[in-house]
Amino acid sequence: MKYISLLFVILTIISCSTKTSMKSDFDYKKIEQIADSIQIENITVKNLFKYQILAHRSPIFDSTMIEQNVYRAHQKLWDSCYGVIFGDENGKKFNNPTGMVKWNRILISENKQDLITKTKLITDINLNKLIKKNLSKFSMLVPYQPKAKLSLLFTPITGIGFGGCNAEQFALELNNPGVDVEYTLTKGLPHEFNHLVYEKFRNDDPERESALSQTIDEGFACYFTYVFFDRKITQHEAVENMNQQQWNWYIKNEKEIFNKVKGFFSDTSGNNPLLRNDKIKLFPEAPKTLNYWLGFRIITKYVEKNGKDSWKDLYTLTAKEVLLKSGYQNYIDNL
């Protein structure tokens, strides 16, 4: 009887373990329902991660699926962006079918629980509906429809986060530890897409490489996010998903921040504390990125002075014109 009881306990443990494992595995049916790509106007979002998972569904790894539905589906991104950014040796992982198949073959075995978690998050938010809704609204708000391609993907070397090499080589690295996937998908897409719209107009500014121009660019993307969600999200959430305490630190130090960084507005090196406070640390206590917050504040004052819908003016104004017409200097002087 003791042996029978022991056997029963062992079988029960194995059974529970198996059920737990099955419950924590990928929901392939939901993953299959995710669209291969979604296009509204000239913006296409490609869900490459879908096939990076489905290639592992059968006992035999589907290398053809990786080549056709992951590599060739957005080949310029892999060849001309990842292949170049990560250098000659690592570039071989990305710029050919053999390299892509090799690392995708071991992708899940080395990162399974993280990929399960990220994929479940995506299927739970109904990705198809979310992207269609956001892209449709975006196309109605902006004065120009950029031609852009964004791929949602997993990669063995993270470094892009959410960005790319040009408008048609954009990526969202779902397994990047520095990316809040839920926030990015639900709140971050309008921010990045507004950069693509504004870039067309910003290129007409002869001082487009200045720190002030970059500050207005990032601040505008944050403010556009605030507008996109009908001003129903908080301002601090629109700026790098800050919390209230972090926002309060900026407001408390607003005058000192502006007076110390305005001397760097014309700098074009990119190596200044306004853009690189994380390295130069003019304000070591700053909880987020200085120029995102400052650009947002300048644009906020512009809209307060010129009317609720005046944010649309920014596409055709130079950065200097935005600062001047915002009255921000006068606001600071009177603090």
Separation of alpha carbons 1 and 122, rounded Å: 49
CB 73 within 8 A of CB 55: no
- Among 180, 202, 189, 183, residue whose Cα is nearest residue 141: 189
- Among 92, 74, 298, 224, residue whose Cα is nearest residue 164: 74
Supply the pLDDT for residue 94. Answer: 95
- How many CB atoms are located within 10 Å of the residue 300 CB? 19
Supply the pLDDT for residue 86. Answer: 87
Supply the pLDDT for residue 90. Answer: 84
Distance of CA 68 to the CA centre of its chain: 25
Separation of alpha carbons 329 and 312, rounded Å: 21
Supply the pLDDT for residue 84. Answer: 92
Supply the pLDDT for residue 25. Answer: 87
Supply the pLDDT for residue 3. Answer: 43
Residues near 23 by beta carbon (within 8 Å), at least 6 away in sequence: none
Q: What are the boundaries of each domain within the chain?
A: 30-195, 204-333
**What does 77-140 look like in DSSP terms, one character per residue?**
IIIIIIHHHTHHHHHTTTSSHHHHHHHHHHHHHHHHHHHHHHHHHHHHTTHHHHHHHHHHHHHH
- Among 275, 327, 296, residue whose Cα is nearest residue 233: 296
Supply the pLDDT for residue 88. Answer: 75
Supply the pLDDT for residue 272. Answer: 96
Residue 162's DSSP bridge partners are 172
pLDDT-flagged residues of the chain (< 50): 1-24
